[in-house]
Amino acid sequence: MRDASHYHGSQPRSSAILVREVDHYLSEAGSRPIHISELCERFNVHRRRLHRAFDEVLGVPPITFRRRKRLSDVHTALLRR
């Protein structure tokens, strides 16, 4: 039986929802540096859970996702010139 005390009265969020929420948070943060510990604290998940969610949904860790997202944004901005 699972220990329900970890869920604080709610169901754990799915990996897809967590990844979508993190993506939105990163977009809102702009170019501000984001550490993995900030994401874990903000979304109330352990580092391993965050990594597992990104690997399950996108096949890459969250930091790799962030790096690729930033490079893509720079590429898009350069193409608009």
Express each pLDDT in 13-37 by its tens digit: 899 999 999 999 999 998 888 999 9
Predicted TM-score (pTM) of the model is 0.77
Mean pLDDT of 53-72: 94
Please give, one letter per residue, the 3-state secondary structure of 22-60: HHHHHHHHCCCCCCHHHHHHHHCCCHHHHHHHHHHHCCC
